[in-house]
Structure 1
Amino acid sequence: MLSQEPVFLLPYTLHTTLLTTFPEQDKRQKAHLKTKPTDFPKIKLLFRNTRSKSLSLRSTDPTPDCSLSLSCSWEKRNWRMGVPLGVIVGRYTTAGGGSGGSDGEMGDGIIRHNRKCRDLVFLVIFIAFWVAMIVNSSFGFNQGNPLRLTYGLDYKGNVCGSKHANPDLRELEVRYWLNPNQVYQSGLKSSHFSLADAKSICLMECPIPSEDGLNFICDYPEGDIRLSVDDWIDRDYDYFEFLTPDMRNSSLQLQGPCYPIIFPSVNVHWSCQFIARASNISLRHWQQMGGVTIEENILIDKTIHRAINSPSAVLKRYVADIGKAWPVLIVCGGILPLFLSVIWLLMIRHFVAGMTWITVILFNALIISVTMFYYAKAGWIGHDAISVVIDESDPYVNISGREINHIRAVAVLMTVVMIITFLSSIAIVRRILIATSVLKVASKVIGEVQALIVFPILPYSILAIFYMFWFSATLYLFSSGQIIRNDCNANCCSYDLKSNRVNCDSCCGYSIHYTPHIGISILFHLFGCYWATQFIIACSSTVIAGSVASYYWARGEISEIPFLPVFSSMKRLLRYSIGSVALGSLVVSIVEWFRFILESLRRRLKLADTAPVSCMGKMMSSSSQCCLGCIDWTIKSVNRNAYIMIAITGKGFCKASAIATGLIMNNILRIGKVNVIGDVILFLGKLCVSLFCALFAFLMLDTHKYKSAHNRISSPLFPVQVCWGLGYIVATLFFAVVEMSIDTIILSFCQDAEEHQGTAQCAPPLLMETLDGEGETQRLTQGS
């Protein structure tokens, strides 16, 4: 036994005498006592429950000279029981305890608290939410087409590159605007003509003007044009020589079916970007043939460039990049962080003394490396900047997009973070020894309960399946708008090959229209991802906390721990506390989502309001964001400790939060320094894993596969950020083994010390040796 307090021989003589020795809060136990005239080596309290065992009373203020008589011992009135937690968790029994244990009890004397289902309402809400998530996603799978995120629409409403179009466009992926005058007209501020109404078709590649004459791009062959699509492609889309006189005259009026190639163009994100630099030779031939005047204004260039780089178009390309880079997400967002996290846990288990230093040094090296990669892609280092042009183009053509601006903004941000990180690392050097002593405690717990290293693979697998479903649904939801003909009043005409005449009635183009409920569906889908992620992490943390609590309150004696403590803790969670975990994860999700909504509104107002923002407005905006950030951090911290109390006591979320908060506030000076520095090291460790994933994602996306053909991504920014986030989430699942071990042991230690007047009686010897060796026991128990 760990405690050095003597246990006195006291006879059961009178029932009433025994009752007077108990603290006031133990009235529930008093009613179950029996008297027994036989003397025992120590006091034994026999309960009416047939499965009960003995409970020892020990003196906290012993008197060595006191005889073993009833009057002497009871008059001291210094007898204590380990309540309330000593009765709930550990080797002690309760009024409802027993070795067998009912559904609400665990055998082997570890946890014998009578539990019941908590927060069932929120469990029902969570299940209903998941049903709504499935229904919402099915809408996206039914209505969406991920090709719309990458490729544009032709004048018939077909998606370029689609095999279901008429004609078959599976090899024709580049959108090309046939009539340059319509492009120019759509760019005029006074015009109501939209670029979406300008006639466009799908080609294999962007055409360039002839060097010695004039060539044409003709409409899809149909009607009197007896050519197959393959023949049309082989002829470079030019069948001008087969046109009738009426068709030729219509083409010279820029009404089709054939249109001259006057301007060079380059493939920019699968749309042909005109270069406002007309070919003199082609233009002269056009004029000699009697063609109408063609505008050569730079507005032709800017109009297409503005459409390609609109915020909605950039967002669609970023989402499409996720679909194209799915192998990178699997490797760098799934497999790699799993491998690195397990390696880190094993290193903590066997090489804890050096891991704190390795973590700090490696973190600084990785953040510098990732920052340098951003610099390279921004074009500030070397000649490997991202390009918006697909395939080869004129080296003198310089076209930029929003993607390069985003990369540069992130590079600047990473520079600031790198500097702050380096200075912070210097500041915590003197505290690393404290972190090492705390990590030693966790490493010894992992060594005793080795299933903790393997357990995170279960929530990891569940989360991996969820993310595969979620990312697939995301691609379809973002592309689930309806393709409908625009309502335009433009006066335009084009030749209809089927009717063999010029049609001026239906020249409006097609667009993808998103109804308001699609926006709500996307927001609901995003919220569902965050809630589900927080829920799985919370379940994992609660199971770990329950396993570590079993170890602590059994005083580190393996014989007193269940055969499978992780399985026992998981069983208690699923049967009694899953609703409480759903409530806790919901609270965090709502606060985080509230921050997201406010930030989105702030950005929209900033873009809509052209007037300069006052200093007071900027200060209020920054203050509100700061306050919400502090609230979010506080709630996450309270939730984490609430999960520990849920695992130990089986209370509901609100009650567990109150217990955990009260315990922290009463011992803030005792646990603050030790707990914070431990969390900092673990946070740096998680960042190391996620940064390494981001760095490896950069390397994979820098290969030829993702720079050409169909797999070409618009920018490595979004896939890298997603891999970074996934790596951090996976690391959180595995690092929670150490994090929750530290928090559970510290909270249990402080609770134990409070209940026993500053002396922890249930702390295992390994914990006491480690804390005594670092001089932390006195600090924890005396608040120094």
Structure 2
Amino acid sequence: MEEKPKYGEPKKFDPDFKGPIQNRGCTDIVCCIFFIVAIVGYVAVGILAWTHGDPRKVIYPTDSMGQYCGQGTLEKKPLLFYFNMMKCASPMVLLEFQCPTPQVCVEKCPNRTMTLVTAIGDKQDWEYYRSFCREDPGVKKSVPQILQEKLCPAYLISSKPFLQRCFPSLGKKGEVITVGDQETFNDGEKIRDAKDLVAGMKNATVVMEGRQYFYIILFQLMLFKEFVKYVSLKDTPGANITLQQLGFQPDFSVYLHIRQTWLAFIIILAILEFIIIILLIFLRNRIRIAVELMKEASRAVGYVMSSLFYPIFTFFLLTIVIAYWGVTAVFLSTSSEPVYKVFNETVCPHARETCIPEVFMHNHNCPQSECLFAFYGGETPYHKYLIFLQFYNVFLFFWCANFVTALGQMTLAGAFASYYWAPNKTKDMPAFPLCASLGRSLRYHTGSLAFGSLILAIVQIIRVLLEYIDHKLKGAQNKFAKFLLCCMKCCFWCLEKFIKFLNRNAYIMVAIYGKNFCRSACDAFFLLMRNVIRVVVLDKVTDFILFLGKLLIVGLVGIFAFFFFSGHTDAFKGTAPSLHYYWVPILTVLVGSYFIAHGFFSVYAMCVDTLFLCFLEDLERNDGSPERPYLMSEKLLNVLKKKNQAN
């Protein structure tokens, strides 16, 4: 009995095969139905969230009475002012996400420092001071009455707005922290050091966050530029200081005037250039094959020019998915009701209990206690299901995002496979290969797309849960638990990378033969395993070339952006804006150019992967005889030292 090959039978010659099968049926129908039901449920979750949620809870600050600053009757008061920032220094603040001090919405932050006692004796100062009170105390109440009823703050400190909140204007005189250019301030009771405000400001910030949930030429140019800069700084005063002596500087342009910085750049780029040259020397033969595949991919893209614009369609769909997830998450997190708690300065048996402001103001007997807004978390009709709904929102986000990406991969694969298997590229290719491939993918293989993206989404949600557990166990002392969690995170990271690789090749086989996802994944895996040497070398070399292409584009754009925004070049002087931190727009341009380059290079990557699988099948199906000629290009045949025999 003949033993079957370990990785399946090689593909047999089929005289009728001319590319993606036209007569095909629907695949993975059960998963398609399941996906549609999940989408309907996702829409229902969105409607439920939008009905009960209120995004103003995370957009606008909330005062002690639960009112939104800058909204409704407080439209002209967009900033939140803390009566006593010192109260935020308590460690309990980090547990309750609420500073135990009255907070009011104000039009502007205070621009001067004064106490209630000094202000009330001057008519003009008192008129200004009253704008920071909860209620107008009038003229009949004394200072002790105003403070006891907490109608006004005991003192004002010169402040600046930051994220719609008023924070004291802290500065430095040498090593001494100052507030409003003064080393001390009067809090209405005693003189305090300005540094005492730091802890309160840190905790108030935590409260706010918790509540608002080249190729060689390029390297040579950069290396030469940095060498010239290094030499030019030789006799510059202060340029020979070491980075250790300099310490950390918030203005990164300071480092560019230090010779040691440019020496480090020279060494790093020289090492990178050496590594690239060594790789080019030892992998030159494999690179020739990869380059020919890239050239073939360029010709394929030339026949299917619309493929270059397909990433825009994918980006549009992903934008919709991300926007829907983000809006739903915000509305879900803001669907709870405001919770008010008792905050006290003296002993009170009802401290930290929930309360109702109106009832508390009239009936509570705890002196110097108040019922203040704490957070959003009150009971709603579906409050106990809120965590499940948020989990469902995240899971469907992963599933839909993976589905959109998979749709793009299968669509491009079908179009480029039509190019490869067409004996005559101009006559045998369909008129609109990209549209035809997109139609086949949606009509017949929505279930297969949903199946592959579901598997990937499950792995990704498990990784999210592991990260959440790791965050919760950061303070744990159990070394074994940390080690086990680290191993699991590493394993699932590897599993995600493998599934992405397998899915990508499975979608190519689905696009060509129209089989279900599992059968296509097996066929793709066995085909790759039968040619494992070529896969390991050619695929990685191709990826490396594409990476160098991205690096070249990003590097050239980065160099241009540096000369433009830094003003170091005479050609751009007067045209570029004057910036204190020009690294910010440079980094923004670099990130933007990378994503744009990545989007368009992803088309080439998908084209190369598709042509690579077709190329491997071509070698198995055909032998170069007149009856079974190879369909690859003549240059690729020459690199492989193969040829088609004449009739």
TM-score, normalising length from structure 2? 0.70
Give deviations 1:613-667, integer Å, cap 9, x for gaps: 64x6665444433322222211111111101100111011110000000000001
- 1:142-181: CA deviation from partner (whole Å, max 9, x where unpaired): 34444433543211111222x22xxx22232222222467
* Equivalences for residues 201-350 of structure 1 within 5 A: 201-210=104-113, 214=117, 236-237=131-132, 243-246=138-141, 248-251=143-146, 253-261=147-155, 263-274=157-168, 293=189, 296=192, 301-310=197-206, 313-314=208-209
Return closer, same or farther for 1:247/1:689 CA change in 2, 3 Å cut-off.
farther
Cα offset, 1:360, TM superposition: 8.6
| 1:743 alignment partner, SS class | helix
Greater Cα shift, 562-571 or 730-739: 730-739
- 1:743 aligned onto 2:614: no
Aligned to 2:338: 483
Match of 1:117 among 26, 31, 40: 26
**Which residue is 2:79 aligned to?**
174
- Report what 1:657 is aligned to: 521
Letter in 2 for 1:118: T
Q: Is the Cα–Cα contact under 8 Å of residues 135 and 152 in structure 2 kept in the other structure? A: yes
* Equivalent residues of 1:363, 1:685 under 8 A apart: no
Q: Partners in 2 of 1:280 and 1:461 — Cα distance?
A: 51
Identity, in percent, stands at: 23
* Superposed CA RMSD: 5.3
Cα deviations across residues 393-450 of structure 1 (Å, max 9, x unaligned)? xxxxxxxxxxxxxxxxxxxxx9x99999777645544457434322101011112233
Helix, strand or coil for the counterpart of 2:374? strand
Q: Could you give the per-residue CA deviations for residues 663-720 of structure 1, whole angstroms, max 9, x where no partner exists?
A: 0000111333122111223245457778999999999999xxxxxxxxxxxx999999
What is the CA–CA distance in structure 1 between the aligned matches of 2:93 and 2:550, rounded to whole Å? 55
Task: Go from structure 1 to structure 2 and tell me whether the alpha carbon gap of 1:507 and 1:521 turns closer, same or farther (over 3 Å shift).
Answer: same
**Does residue 635 of structure 2 align to residue 770 of structure 1?**
yes
**Aligned ranges 1:500-511 → 2 under 5 Å:** 507-511=370-374
Q: Is 2:437 the counterpart of 1:569? A: yes
Report the equivalent of 1:439.
294
Residue 252 of structure 2 aligns to a residue whose secondary structure is coil
Q: Shift of the alpha carbon at 1:580?
A: 0.3
Q: Displacement of 1:250 after TM fit?
A: 0.8
Structure 1 residue 484, shift from structure 2 partner:
2.2
CA distance in 2, matches of 1:377, 1:529: 40
Question: What is the rounded CA distance, in whole Å, between the counterparts of 1:647 and 1:538 in structure 2?
Answer: 11
SS of 1:206's equivalent in the other structure is coil
- Which residue of structure 2 lines up, in the alignment, with residue 141 of structure 1? 50
User: What displacement does 1:88 show?
Assistant: 6.3
Q: Could you say what secondary structure the match of 2:371 adopts?
A: coil
In structure 2, C-alpha distance between the alignment counterparts of 1:150 and 1:419, rounded to whole Å: 48
Please state whether the residue corresponding to 1:750 is helix, strand or coil: helix
Alignment-mate amino acid for residue 634 of structure 2: E
Which residue of the partner structure matches residue 755 of structure 1?
A: 621
- The change in CA–CA distance for 1:532 and 1:380 in structure 2 (over 3 A counts) is same
Change over 3 Å in CA distance of 1:193–1:756 after alignment to 2 = closer
Q: Amino acid of the residue matched to residue 307 of structure 2?
A: L
Pairing partner for 1:677 from 541, 544, 549: 541
Aligned length: 559
Corresponding residue of 1:554? 422
1:682-701 map, 5 Å: 682-685=546-549
Candidates 52, 69, 85, aligned match of 1:160 = 69
2:375 pairs with 1:512: yes
Asked if structure 1 preserves the Cα contact closer than 8 Å seen for 2:27 and 2:515, the reply is: yes
- Give the residue type in structure 2 aligned to 1:647: A
Counterpart in 1 of 2:488?
A: 624
Decide whether aligned partners of structure 1 residues 752 and 175 sit closer, same or farther in structure 2, where only a CA change above 3 A counts: same
Alignment of 1:314-713 (within 5 A): 314=209, 379=250, 381-382=252-253, 425=276, 428-430=279-281, 431=283, 433-434=287-288, 435-486=290-341, 491=346, 507-514=370-377, 517-606=385-474, 608-609=475-476, 611=477, 614=479, 620-685=484-549
Query: What is the identity, as a one-letter code, of the residue corresponding to 1:560?
Result: D
Q: Which amino acid aligns with 1:768?
A: S
Amino acid at match of 2:375: I
DSSP-derived class of the 1:153 partner? coil
Structure number with greater Rg is: 1
Structure 1 SS opposite 2:62: coil
TM-score normalised by length of structure 1:
0.59
Contact 1:209 1:282 in 2 (8 A): no
Aligned letter for 1:679? Answer: D
Q: Distance in 2 between matches of 1:417 and 1:479?
A: 49
Please give the secondary structure, in 1, of the residue aligned with 2:74.
coil
